[in-house]
Structure 1
Amino acid sequence: MSHPKEQTEDELAPTETEGYKVGQSKTVAELAALDQEDESLQRWKASLGLGTSAGSGGSKKVVLKTLFLQSPTLPKQITIDLTQSPAELAKLKKEPLTIKEGVEYSVGITFTVENEIVSGLKYLQVVKRTGITVDKTEAMLGSYGPQEAAYTKVFASEESPSGMLARSGGYVVRSRVIDDDKHVWLDFEWGFKLGKEW
């Protein structure tokens, strides 16, 4: 019999595409040096942030900034600061956010990439209620070059559950960001409850 933690780990494993192999990793400097004579290619590389100061030296690093919820019915988006200490983030599981029942909403994330290109970033999310998985999301963020400005990705909208049964009790969400190299850049739990209002 498998343990609940093992089940959650399996649920948070990204799906594999059959036949896909992760390519050889190249540094920003190596990519910038390729095809120097091709002017249009050099402009395209510059648009990706290759050859910029954000890509100078050091190992690749993804810095998660915020996780946010937005909705046409919400006056101001709800934002979770992901730069908080692990102890502060852990409080979010015990102090759940309130999401209005029966409304369309979207989850989004902001992050920066430093030093080197990161490929195949994915956002994974498992929602549980009383230990039972009620929703799972896997969204491709993509591949990004280093730059100082934050990237923002908003996922497909969903409709929150509604009704008295949905409002009773809380939900626990585990969010993870992982790349093609299986490096986990974010892994934390937070909670929410459903209400008649935000």
Structure 2
Amino acid sequence: MADHEDDLVASKTEGFKVGEKKTIEEYKELDKNDESLNRWKASLGLNTGSTICDPNDPRKCIIKSLALEVQGRDDVVIDLSAPGALDSLKDKPFTIKEGANFRIKATFQVQHEVLSGLKYLQVVKRKGIRVSKDEEMLGSYAPNTTDKPIYEKKFAQEEAPAGMIARGHYNAVSKFVDDDDHTHLQFEWSFDIAKDW
């Protein structure tokens, strides 16, 4: 995957600095009388339910599944937690009908600490030439709790290319990365654009 490394660098906002790391308890106690900060903490779910972290799993973010949503069709779901799921993605392409409107949906779990600025990066190539690079900001999340055991994020809707030139095989590499430039998951996959499903 080394040949994709330059393509998979997240954009940076000039002047933005990642804040100091804090524990969940420190966030809960932080400026209790600050109304806007309390709204932010509530939006993250910092004050609801008990956390469901696995103390034996050091990962901060666990990507559970990706799905391709197309109106009028069943979702194509890739269970990323299944053994060997990532290994087969590159060699077993799925088909997208040319001109179809679709979107990707990710489900994931956060544990141990607040996850700041999770992003999804994707580079698509055809015959070795880059045809697209996408970056989707997923947001910041508190560790999952009994009240919210999993997060689900739907990406912006896209339209598959159409026409004889667009049809064919594509290779892609995707990466989930946070504001600390920590890569939570990176994998290669492939798909075909065809006349029909």
Tell me which interval the TM-score lies in, with the shorter structure as reference length.
Answer: 0.7 to 0.9
- 1:58-104 CA distance string (max 9 Å, x none): 566111011111122x421111111123x431211111001111111
Given candidates 5, 9, 28, the residue that maps to 2:5 is 9
| TM, length-normalised to structure 2 | 0.86
- 1:126-179 CA distance string (max 9 Å, x none): 0111111111110101100011421111111111112223223x1111110000
Q: CA deviation at 1:5?
A: 3.1
Residue 21 of structure 1 corresponds to which residue in structure 2? 17
Matched residues in 1 for 2:40 and 2:137: separation?
22
Q: CA deviation at 1:19?
A: 0.7
User: Residue 70 of structure 1 contacts residue 77 of structure 1 at CA under 8 Å; is this kept in 2?
Assistant: yes
CA RMSD of the aligned region, Å? 2.4
Residue 83 of structure 1 corresponds to which residue in structure 2? 81
User: Residue 128 of structure 1 contacts residue 135 of structure 1 at CA under 8 Å; is this kept in 2?
Assistant: yes
User: Residue 54 of structure 2 contacts residue 111 of structure 2 at CA under 8 Å; is this kept in 1?
Assistant: no
Matched residues in 1 for 2:20 and 2:151: separation?
24
Matched residues in 2 for 1:91 and 1:66: separation?
14
Matches within 5 A, 1:138-153: 138-148=135-145, 149-153=149-153
Identity %: 49
Matches within 5 A, 1:1-198: 5-6=2-3, 8-36=4-32, 45=41, 48-51=44-47, 52-54=49-51, 61-72=60-71, 74-85=72-83, 87-148=84-145, 149-168=149-168, 170-198=169-197
Matched residues in 2 for 1:63 and 1:36: separation?
30
User: Residue 44 of structure 2 contacts residue 140 of structure 2 at CA under 8 Å; is this kept in 1?
Assistant: no
What 5-or-longer segments of structure 1 have no aligned partner? none
| One-letter amino acid of the counterpart of residue 70, structure 1 | E
CA 1:193–1:21 in structure 2 vs 1: closer, same or farther (change >3 Å)?
same
| One-letter amino acid of the counterpart of residue 178, structure 1 | V
| One-letter amino acid of the counterpart of residue 90, structure 1 | D
CA 1:162–1:38 in structure 2 vs 1: closer, same or farther (change >3 Å)?
closer
Q: Which has the higher helix share?
A: 1
Q: Helix, strand or coil for the counterpart of 2:51?
A: helix
Q: Helix, strand or coil for the counterpart of 2:15?
A: coil
What 5-or-longer segments of structure 2 have no aligned partner? none
Q: Which moved more, 1:35-44 or 1:49-58?
A: 35-44
How many residues align? The count is: 191
